[in-house]
Amino acid sequence: MSRRRGGGVSVGHDAFLDIVANLVGILIILVVVLGAQSHSVIQEAIQESETPTNPELREATDSDMDQLAVMAAEAASAQTESRRLEKTIKSLEARVERESERRTVLLALLTQAEEAMQAKQETMDAEKMEIAKAEAKAQSLKRQLEELDATEDELRSRQPKVVEIENLPTPMAKTVFGKEVYFRLKGNRLSVIPFEELAEEIGRDFRRTSGSSSREGVSDSAVGPVRGYVARYVMNRSNELVSDGGKIARMTRARVMVASFEPLREPHGEPIDQVLSNDDWLDIELTGYSPESSTITVAVYPDSYGAFRKLREKFYAKGFAIAARPIKDGAPIYVNFAGGGSRSSAQ
């Protein structure tokens, strides 16, 4: 017997067929009982008719006739009931056959439905498998995307900050012959280089050391600190023949060849953000310098080019011409005295 799902059609028809079969069984038992009774009555009548008559014949009485009529009526009733039961049995058998055929058809339809459901279930299982695979692939791609995003963020964090540079008109450069104010811009910190004060210190130290020794050659020395800066310079002494009133004499000449300027400690100077946000510091340092006769020279290191652009706009706003001297990273600020020094080119 095939599997039943739901139990609606099959269970109902099985119960009905069981009831019909029970009714048929009861009717058959009744027919057998009635047939047995009618057969017993007929046998008794035959036996009585075959029983030898007494030598003395007698006529049937009314009682005998009534009893015979009753027995005949019972026999006729039993035969009628038997025919009715047979007809009922045939009708029920036909109905049972129709219900059986219907049951067979319903079982066939149920089997087809179960097969179709099984096929659909298998299809759905396959679709679920495909969906599960697609979801697993989507999760894998999502993890890869998150890893790529993390890598992109890490690489982006490693990139140097982009400094926006505005385009400013560049005037013709000219050599500076007035006063110069020297600044140093390194590590986004601005400081004033006390160039004139250190130059005076170099002159005093040079005169002191050159007069006390006549040894030829190159020697170095240092002066300062002044405002946190020291100056290291190289001096060259040489003996030369000179003409003095027609006579040849020997004279010792000493001169400063080159000097470097650098702070004692790093970092040194005011943060550029504070300098740009408040003009007090710049105004104090520029006291005594007029924009018409003074030029600002800034020694700029590579890590502060962006800050120099903003600082130049600040000096332009105050009316000062400004010159920039790019300095290599890690190098001090040198001044060459052998060629008479150098002048900045202001813009």
97 and 18 Cβ atoms separated by less than 8 Å:
no
**Phi-psi region at 328: left, alpha or beta (left = phi > 0; alpha = psi -120 to 50):** beta
Confidence of residue 182 (pLDDT cuts 50, 70, 90): very high
**What is the pLDDT at residue 51?**
54
Mean pLDDT of 102-130: 87
**What is the pLDDT at residue 337?**
66
Query: Model confidence over 40-93: pLDDT tens digits?
Result: 766 666 666 555 545 455 566 777 777 877 888 887 888 888 888 888 888 888
27 and 89 Cβ atoms separated by less than 8 Å:
yes
Q: What share of the chain in percent tops pLDDT 70?
A: 73
Q: Which two tokens stand for residue 34?
A: 């009635």
Number of residues in the chain? 347
* CA distance linking residue 301 with residue 347, whole number of Å: 19
Neighbours of 195 (CB within 10 A): 19
Query: Model confidence over 215-245: pLDDT tens digits?
Result: 667 778 888 899 999 999 888 777 666 666 6
The candidate with the shortest Cα–Cα distance to 285, out of 340, 221, 242, 227, is 227
pTM for the predicted model, two decimal places? 0.45
Give me the residue spans of the domains in the chain.
8-50+62-127, 174-214+261-346
Query: Model confidence over 278-324: pLDDT tens digits?
Result: 889 998 988 888 888 888 999 999 999 999 999 999 888 888 888 88
102 and 94 Cβ atoms separated by less than 8 Å:
no
Q: What is the DSSP string of 122-180?
A: HHHHHHHHHHHHHHHHHHHHHHHHHHHHHHHHHHHHHSPPPPP------PPPEE--SEE
* CA distance linking residue 248 with residue 102, whole number of Å: 151
